Amino acid sequence: MEVDDEIIKPKVDGEEKDNRKPLVVILVGAPGSGKSTFCDHVMRVSTRPWVRVCQDTIGNGKAGTKAQCLAISSTSLKDGKSILIDRCNLDKEQRADFIKLKESYQVDVHAVVLDLPAKLCISRCVNRTGHEGNLQGGKAAAVVNRMLQKKELPKLSEGFTRITFCQNENDVQEAINTYGALSSSDVLPSGIFGEKKKDTKVQLGIMKFLKRVDAPTKVASDKTIPEPSNETTKESHHVNECQEQSGTNTLDTVPTLAFPSISTADFQFNIEKASEIIVETVEEFVNKIGNGRLVLVDLSHGSKILSLVKSKAAKKNIDPTKFFTFVGDITKLRSGGGLHCNVIANAANWRLKPGGGGVNAAIFDAAGQDLDTATKKRAGSLAPGKAIAVPLPSTSPLFSKEGVTHVIHVLGPNMNPKRPNCLKDDYNTGCKVLREAYSSLFENFASIVRTQVKSSDHEFSNGDQKVRREDGAHVNEKNKKFKGFIEVPESNNPYSVDGKQDATSSGKTGGSVNKDWGSWAQALHKIAMHPEKHQNGVIEILDDVVVLNDVYPKAQKHLLVVARAEGLDRLADVTQEHLPILRTMHDVGVKWARTFLEENQSLVFRLGYHSAPSMRQLHLHVISQDFDSKHLKNKKHWNSFNSPFFRDSVDVIQEISEEGKPTINDDEKFMSMELRCNRCKSAHPNIPKLKSHITICKSPFPANLLENERLLKKVDNAC
Residues belonging to the active site: 619
**323-327/293-298 β-pairing:** parallel
What DSSP letter does each residue of 629-648 carry, written as one string?
A: -TT--SHHHHHTTSSTTEEE
* Residue type present at position 126: V
**Sequence-ordered strand ranges (E) for 36-90:** 50-54, 82-86
The single-letter DSSP state of residue 414 is B
Q: Cα separation of 449 and 57, whole Å?
A: 37
Residue 549: in which H helix or E strand, if any? strand 545-549
Query: Is 691 in contact with 679 (CB distance < 8 Å)?
Result: no
Contacts of 348 (CB under 8 A, 6+ apart): 360, 382, 409, 410, 411
What is the total residue count of the chain? 719
Q: Using CA atoms in the order 585, 587, 593, 597, what is the torsion angle rounded to 10 degrees?
A: -170
**619-624/558-563 β-pairing:** antiparallel
Sign of the CA dihedral running 605, 607, 609, 615? positive
HSE-CB of 543 using CA atoms within 13 angstroms: 3
Contacts of 257 (CB under 8 A, 6+ apart): 289, 292, 293, 294, 295, 341, 343, 344, 345, 408, 441, 442, 445
Sign of the CA dihedral running 495, 497, 503, 509? positive
Beta bridge partners of 52: 84
Q: Angle CA(159)–CA(162)–CA(167) in degrees, nearest 5?
A: 115
The burial class, CB within 10 Å (0-12 / 13-18 / 19+), for 539 is: exposed
Q: Cα separation of 612 and 708, whole Å?
A: 23
- What's the per-residue H, E or C state across 496-508? CECCECCCEECHH
HSE-CB of 325 using CA atoms within 13 angstroms: 28
Q: Cα separation of 465 and 59, whole Å?
A: 12
What is the separation of C-alpha 115 from the centre of its chain, rounded to a whole number of angstroms?
A: 23
429 phi, psi to nearest 5 deg = -70, -40
What is the separation of C-alpha 518 from the centre of its chain, rounded to a whole number of angstroms?
A: 9
Q: Cα separation of 432 and 480, whole Å?
A: 39
